[in-house]
Amino acid sequence: MPDKNLPENGSTHFRYFVAAKPNGSPGDGTLEHPSRSIRDAIEGIRARHAGDSPSVRRLNGYDRIDICSVLKGPAAKAETKQRYEFFVDPLGATDLAIGSAQLPWPDLESALEGVAKMDAEGAISLAAGEHLSLSVREVFSATPVDRRKRRHERIAQIALGLVTLSLVVPLVAILSHLIYKAWPVLTPSFLFENPRNQMTAGGVWAPLIGTFYLVFISLIIASPIGVLAGVYLNEYARDNWFTRVVNLAVVNLAGVPSIVHALFGVGAFVMFANMGESVLAASCTLAIMTLPVIITSTREALASVPMNFREACWNMGASRWQTIRTIVLPNSISGILTGVILQVSRAAGETAPILFTGAALYMTIPTKGLRSFFPYSLQDGCMALSYHLHVMMTQVKGASPEAIEAGKSLPLEHLQYGTAVVLIGLVLTVNSFSIGLRMYLRSRKKW
């Protein structure tokens, strides 16, 4: 009988009840007088819903008929647990219809005949408190399998989102803590003043310029070599023992600790090449350290360009170098830039490779004029933010309370955190610019 208590979009939900223990007396399918068997309930459904009953023929995806098994008596309850579910879909049915979500019956009459046949064969049985459902669903509506897949997809999405959140929240907390500690010194004067009073006052201008020198000179050295090496390994080199040895060397070089690169830089550039402890020696050491990343990212970017592009260009009579220069490189530049971005970030934050090759403990440079932007020569040492922070943490002692009260010095803790925030800001700024350029180049791809 119609159940008016269901809220599903105003749909009509019909429930018919079957006695779990028939006593021989016929019923009308209500909760108070359940039918004797599923077959009797089906006959009642066929009689009540035959013809053009709009409540059954309306295909809105929610109409449903339940056959519920209950015990007679005052303890009979309308709430039952679903055991079987069958479907009717006139537009989605086939000749192989079996009542499933994928193969639904074409109409109510076929559905009732199918359920009656399964009942006669003993394929379905309802214990007390169970019911079978006969649902009319829309074309292309979600099946139970689809709903289960969506539920699993939602669970996976939530789980992965929580994992991502567990990574982002600590990062935000660390950055917030650094900025909070550094806030008293984060002023323009902190950026454009040199360290003074034995690094207990002033700013980070000299280390900041030195970091720019080291990063961009190493970038100028490593990028052409890394990109050309990647082009050769991916486009020209044959698959032989020599190529495999080079690839293995590149992979192993990427895993070498930075202090080992520092010792190599001392031996190769400071002593053997007679560069001394200079900007050039430190930059070459950083370049060697970052070469594997650039080579690997270049090879991956070149390999991502479809071979059809090369073949089409060759068929037009272009040489291999013309194909690389006009087709392959323009379509892989965004991936190559990814390796360069990683190179910039790593070079700016490394301390060990420059510790013995060119980093200076303290230097004074002009803060005004052209000389302030180009204070170092390639043969000079230079200050760097990462090494400056290391020195402040390990060797600089805090200023006296009298100097702090007089405004000549600041609490050392603020200067340390301020230097760390400037270093992080430098890396983020360069990365943001590079990522923006990469996105622009990627948007211009033809594929």
pLDDT in tens, 291-300: 998 998 899 8
Every domain range in the chain assigned CATH 1.10.3720.10: 186-443
Name the pLDDT band for 43 (thresholds 50, 70, 90).
Answer: confident
Paired tokens of 290: 């970052």
421 to each of 88, 365, 385, 398, how far by Cα in Å?
Answer: 65, 22, 10, 19
Q: Tell the CATH topology of 186-443.
A: MetI-like fold (1.10.3720)
Q: Which of 79-83, 140-144, 235-239, 274-278 has the lowest mean pLDDT?
A: 140-144
Residue 262 has pLDDT above 50, yes or no: yes
Name the pLDDT band for 372 (thresholds 50, 70, 90).
Answer: confident
Residue 363 has pLDDT above 50, yes or no: yes
What local confidence, expressed as pLDDT, does residue 284 receive? 93
- pTM assigned to the model: 0.65
